[in-house]
Amino acid sequence: MDQEKASKEENGSAGNNEEIYRYGLFLLKHDLVNIVVSLAIGTLLGCLRECVAFALSYMMLRRYMGGYHASKPIICVVASITMQSVSSVLAHYAEPNLNMIFLVIAVYLVLYSGIPAETRNRPLNSQERDVFRRITVLIMVLYVVVSMILFDHGWLFNCILYAIMCCECLLTIQLFVNCFGKNDHKTNNKDMTNGHRLIIHSD
C-alpha cells in the first residue's frame, strides 16, 4: 500500500511539474509577443522610448503585485498591447503632473492589504505573500524617488506613473474577482509544489 501510494504521489508530482513547465512556456511566449508587437506599435507611433520605459516599469511591478488575467490568451494579449500602446502615446504627449505621485501612493496604501493578488494559476502561501508585498514596497519607493528626480523628463515620469496606475487598476479588478468569485479562485496552498512557487508572471 505504501509503495502504491508513493507511486501515485510521484505520478501526480510529475504531472504537476509538466503543467507548470507548459504554463511557464506559455508565459514566455506571451511576454515575447507583447514586447515585439508593442515595440512595433511604438515605432509606428513615434514613441518607441516611451513604450520601452513603460513596459519595463510595468512588468517589474506587475510581477510581484499581481492582478487580473484574462481567461483567454488572445484577450490577454490584445488587452496588454492596447494598454501599453495607449499608455506610451499618452506618456509622449501629456504634460507631467506631480499630483499623480500622491494619487498612486494613496491608491497603493488602500490596496496594500490585498497585495499580491492571488489567482487560480498563481497560488501563494503566507510567506510568499509577505515577501512579494515587501518587494512591491521597495519597487514603489524606487519608482516614486526616480520619478521625482526625473520630473523634468516628462515622458519618463509619465511612463513610470502610468505603469503604476495600470498595475493598480488590474490589482483592483482581481481583488473584486476574488471577493465575489471565491469558489472559482479558491486554492489550496498546502498542496503546492515548489514549482508552483516559482511561477511569477506578468501580462
Q: Does residue 23 sit within a domain?
A: yes
Cα 119–83–177 angle (5° rounding)? 25
Whole domain around residue 32: which residue ranges? 2-197
> What pLDDT is stored for residue 191 in this prediction?
42
Q: Does residue 96 sit within a domain?
A: yes
Total domains in the chain come to 1
Residue 48: what residue type?
Answer: L
What DSSP string runs through 89-152? HHHHHSPP-THHHHHHHHHHHHHGGGPSBPBTTB---HHHHHHHHHHHHHHHHHHHHHHHHTTT
Q: Does residue 203 sit within a domain?
A: no
Q: Does residue 125 sit within a domain?
A: yes
> What pLDDT is stored for residue 63 in this prediction?
85
Per-residue burial over 98-133, b = 16 or more CB atoms within 10 Å of its CB, e = otherwise: eebbeebeebbeebeebbbbbbebbbbeeebbeebb
> What pLDDT is stored for residue 14 in this prediction?
56
> What pLDDT is stored for residue 106 in this prediction?
95
CA-to-CA distance for 201 and 203, rounded, in angstroms?
Answer: 7
Whether the predicted model's global pTM rises above the 0.85 cut = no
Q: Does residue 202 sit within a domain?
A: no
46 DSSP assignment: T
The residue ranges of the chain whose pLDDT is under 50 are: 183-202
